[in-house]
Amino acid sequence: MRILIVEDSEDVAAAITAALGRAGMACDRAAGAREAQDYLAAETYDVVVLDIHLPDGDGRTILSDLRRAGSRTPVLMLTAELEVSSRVNALDAGADDYLVKPFDLRELEARVRVLGRRGDSAGSARISVGDLEFDQAARTVRIAGAAVALTRREVSLLGLLVARRDRIIAKEQILERLFSMDEDVGLNTVELYVARLRKKLAASSVSIVTHRGLGYQLTAPDG
């Protein structure tokens, strides 16, 4: 899951990045309105976390520009004000959700996850494919009921594959969803994690199929 955080405060941005990163989301951070516009033009994000107050502009402007451009990317607004008016403003401008500062990081994480799921058609937090059960919230994986130990990155990768089962995902897409911008990582890394995941899922009925030049695909027999 790829997240853009638009927030001028260094500390707040770092805290959000850390929390979401721990939840397996790849976060890019823009410190201002202009930077945010650039990122949004260059990349596709699953969710945008947008501070309403920015040094070089208003978050609502970014939001309405984004919507005018036809983007439906879910946006969660951060507002410092408690007034009803500002939250009505935010929702009117096209935000999907809002949080009032100061907020609980876990709540932010939960809401971001909810928004991120909106994009996928997969609704539930617990998904089964073949004899494999994937619990997104608990970040646990079971094969025929038996727990499998995965690392953070492996869980993230499996989450991607499970969310788009039977569909082919390009390696570049996986890279983008797994790593943030400032993690300069080679494409080979994706192959590596696919290999590691395959090894750990060897006992399962699902398998990760390679499509040369296209990407990877998670499949289950009869599925």
Whether the CB-CB separation of 174 and 138 falls below 8 Å is answered with no
* 172 near DNA (CB under 7 A): no
What's the DSSP call for residue 167? S
Contact letters for a copy of itself, residues 81-110 (x by CB under 8 A): -x-----------------xxxxxxxx---
Q: Which residue has the tokens 């609502």?
A: 60
Beta carbon nearer to a copy of itself, 39 or 50: 39
Whether the CB-CB separation of 174 and 208 falls below 8 Å is answered with no
Selection from 27, 14, 20 nearest residue 177 by Cα: 27
Q: How many CB atoms lie within 10 A of CB 94?
A: 16
Alpha-carbon distance 58 to 33, whole Å? 7
Contact segment (CB under 7 A) with DNA among 3-11, 32-40, 88-96, 212-220 equals 212-220
Count of chain residues binding DNA (CB under 7 A): 24
Residues interacting with DNA, by CB under 7 A?
149, 151-154, 171, 179, 183-186, 188-189, 191-195, 198, 210, 212-215
Per CB under 8 A, residues contacting a copy of itself are 19, 22, 37-38, 41-44, 82, 100-107, 135, 138-140, 147, 149, 151-152, 155, 166-168, 170, 172-173, 176, 211-214, 217, 219
